[in-house]
Amino acid sequence: MLRVVVIGGVAAGLKAAAKIRRCNPEAQITVVEKGDLVSYGACGMPYFVGGDIDDFNQLMMTPAGAIRNVEFFRSVKNVDVLTKTLATRIDRQAKTVQVKDLTTGEEKALPYDKLIIATGASPLKPPIPGIDLGNIHQLWHPNDAKAVRSGLERGKFENAVIIGAGLVGMEMAEAFKNWEVNVTVIEMKEQIFPAFLDPEVAGAVEKYAREKGIRILTGEKVVKFEGETAVQAVVTDKQTIPADIVIVAIGVKPNVELAKEAGLTLGPTGAIAVDEYMCTDDPDIYAGGDCVENTNIISGKKVFAPMGSTANKHGRVIGENICGGRVKFRGILNTVVVKVLDYNVGKTGLTEREAKELGREYMTVMTGGHDRPHYMPGAKLMTVKLIFDPRTRRLLGAQSFGEGDVAKRIDVLATALMFGATIDDLFDIDLGYAPPYSGPIDNVAVAANAAMNKLEGALKGISPLTAKETMDAGGAVFLDVRSPGECKQIRLAGCKDIKYIPLGQLRSRTGELDKDQEIIAFCKISLRGYEAALILEGEGFSNVKVMEGGLVAWPFECETN
């Protein structure tokens, strides 16, 4: 009889246990979990705090409504789950795991034929004075989420401060806004989502969040927390901010102590090294979830990228292979989607920064548009940015943001990346079309067309960041071809040399522009800006560019009425 011990009872560990049971009805499976809860949806905790989810037990239920607890796994899966039990040592020679019952203190050795390490990760706790004051949480355990939700329900918090503008930090900013709590997000780096967005995309999302009432401080470092028993203020290197509650969300580190002490190899990221079959350098020990490193499919480099979706895939692959399979885990694309109030944000593949670090030749293009025909109820704007190799035309990465259906497009682009698609392939893909879902030429195909136009020289586009640098340097004319009504509502701020000519009047008013001067055309999403550039080029203008993404993608201040 196959004896399997699993260390860790959340995503990867219990997914592996369930798969082993399906493949091998006779296996003896024991799961060791140091906490008192198992198999909970940790990624749903910000939405529980924010009130989208009423009962925390919903994060522990199957789709049929059964709670995934010890009894569930015993009766339904025939898996023995030991909660409040700490794995203290792995003896690879004896093939045992030493465990300690945290309630009784009893210790014993569990023998195994195959061992799975799914110890997850732990939140980083910065050594900042006052970090142990009350009401400072890391939102990594359900008890944190329950405590924060309870305080919000009692009206206990007026000012919330979040340290870190990554996924959890920005999700929690929305959660506090739902409760009408004043929110300040502090990020040490110069932009929000520094790990996965390029600066102009992050800037556009940050501008939106600020407009919706979230105070965001980038390039600012927390130096201490003040208070007597509970936190009362956060002190940065620039100011003091009142705080009734603080969420520290600056990242996580893999839990590798057991593996390291057992002599297993750690990879360059500091996480456990595994092969394509999710096996460590011990053939009888597998590892998965947030404690292992992954391979980035595009770059080929090892990365530490903890994600619940990846952990579940790891668990399935491990379960198959322990039962005799030879299933490979090919790697990840670092695909991310996140909701920021009514904005949807997504990324897959390489960012510009990563492409530069790899020494890859690349080009970018950014386009905007509605996620379905503008005449359909519920049509929302969104922006797509592609990063691609100009020589091979292969897609390298993509980012998207806006109120439209970003996740759908990011999933299409992730699929394309997985199979090595070119920008030409993106146009050729036969995507579903009906007005309730998308336009006849989907946003992905529109971006691909723009990329092809750019390669062929038909589109001379520049990014919003380059446009801003040009504006600050002076000498270029910014040509706004929107209607007068649109221009009254919102305009570029601080632009000294700007010309307002509606697109329909441009052909008859080209004499108002200097053919020897650089002209940067734009509109709301710069589709009309592109048309304007073509008109001007047809009239003999030789230095016309298009500000890609238009005002929707402009990450800087605008003037409004």
Helix (H, G, I), strand (E, B) or coil at 388: strand
DSSP string, 466-501: HHHHHHHH---EEEE-S-HHHHHHEEESS-SSEEE-
Helix (H, G, I), strand (E, B) or coil at 253: strand
Decide: 321 and 284 in contact? Cβ < 8 Å.
Answer: no
Residues near 469 by beta carbon (within 8 Å), at least 6 away in sequence: none
Separation of alpha carbons 90 and 87, rounded Å? 8
Decide: 399 and 201 in contact? Cβ < 8 Å.
Answer: yes
Residues near 411 by beta carbon (within 8 Å), at least 6 away in sequence: none
Decide: 397 and 298 in contact? Cβ < 8 Å.
Answer: yes
495 flagged as catalytic: no
Beta-strand pair 96-101/85-91: antiparallel
User: Checking phi first, is residue 527 left (phi over 0); if not, alpha (psi -120 to 50) or beta?
Assistant: alpha
Separation of alpha carbons 460 and 443, rounded Å? 19
Separation of alpha carbons 421 and 396, rounded Å? 9
Structure tokens at 221: 């470092």
CA quadruple 482, 487, 493, 494: dihedral, nearest 10 = 80
Three-state secondary structure string covering 398-457: EEEEECCCHHHHHHHHHHHHHCCCEHHHHHHCCCCCCCCCCCCCCHHHHHHHHHHHHHHC
Separation of alpha carbons 212 and 366, rounded Å? 24
* Helix boundaries (H) for 86-198: 142-153, 167-178
Q: Which residues pair with 338 in a beta bridge?
A: 345
Separation of alpha carbons 254 and 305, rounded Å? 10
Residue pointed to by tokens 């548009």: 369
Beta-strand pair 343-349/336-340: antiparallel
Selected catalytic residue, list 23, 43, 495, 558:
43
Q: Which residues pair with 279 in a beta bridge?
A: 286
The alpha carbon of 50 is separated from its chain's Cα centroid by a whole number of angstroms, namely 19
Q: Which residues pair with 461 in a beta bridge?
A: 546
Separation of alpha carbons 291 and 129, rounded Å? 28
Separation of alpha carbons 543 and 451, rounded Å? 20
Q: Is the Cα torsion angle 146, 258, 129, 241 positive or negative in sign?
A: negative
Of 279, 289, 284, whose CA–CA distance to 314 is shortest? 289
Active site residues: 43
